[in-house]
Structure 1
């Protein structure tokens, strides 16, 4: 009996040690991304001191680094995010609702689901070629316009929105649907009043991640002929636009060290602030509905 008690205590100590070790291991995995982002932000902010001011945010680009501004690229990226959100959210949620609530389990439906998952891993430059061939060459909407850029990047992030929305809809307990049907609701009423409100927080999370990826993409914009530098803000869907990552890349290629460090750092901090602001606003909306 005493031996059995000793063995139990040893097993308990080993299990407790493994539990604590696993807890610290997961904590370290959590902190890696946060610490890396914090170090990057501090490092870039240090170089941006003295460069990031109101003049920088409200002025157009200029050959002189001390007069260079970020305003056209900043506004262009914001407008681009609005177009992408307006395109991807209804299409992504609509496709997810159809695949989870209406589509069967036949070979065609399985083929569509598999290919949507595969499309999420396609390189962004391929979507740039698709946008060039479809929107520029075939539909002749124009090179580097806001509409073409929005449609092209929307194709890039649409699979991510569809997959995340499908997972959120699938997570809604089936008992909620059955209770709605038992009250006499139709399928559409059940989806509108039960499924979508319950799945909206997860759908918003996927949309946030998709927009976060979209704001940093440059390859699709280069492929559709978006200019690296513009000197005015877009005033229509057919205006030429430049995005913040493209302007940052252009400045980084200049031989002047003031551009490579000070101006680029100020633009990078602006990009991070805009990205975090978009994510924070979307999280607030998600939490409100949650």
Structure 2
């Protein structure tokens, strides 16, 4: 058992991460995974977690936190009738299959490779947010299978490699095919459920028995972080929401895009 002082410092650092993630998640109106992973990576570094497992632990812990938040959000949106249930039903197999593939990749790649993957996807997301145009369209309705199934699998794969709930990727997909942004956001909550639950078990399996993990970790999931972050993010997110209402939508898109590019640059710098 680690010294009590070390455990207190560990918990305090993670609580601070929860405050930062909660405010930023509220500000940018996303589930928080894209915020949590880079924040976790920095905090776990300050706590001297082995670099070989630090990125994996950040991604797995983020997915564990997304499970209850995505479930709560999905049920609330479903009650309002805002979710595209037909799309979700068509993705019940493709999205988890993509997540399972991501778990296999995570079990075999290095921390550097996982950081590079996160950074590359973050650049694409950041550029999309910076140069997004409301009139961009690829079609008037969502494509049928097998294209739809393939998109679901890719969203599951990329999201599980990044430790996110798939909101940014699914919002992009649905709005490019003419769906209202509110329906896209609501449906993304359900996509988060399809990603986070198999992702949690996948990262538990991928990191099982790995050396160098911090106290109270099972596989690539740290339960201290999970227990601390969920209530803290829910508590402080309204602060970010208040900031968001002081800015217009385009300013938020630019802010989030710049944040993702900054995170990507930080991860690429760590590879040098």
Q: Normalised by the size of structure 1, how large is the TM-score? A: 0.28
Higher RCO (C-alpha under 8 Å, 6+ residues apart): 2
In terms of Rg, which structure is larger? 1
Q: Normalised by the size of structure 2, how large is the TM-score? A: 0.30
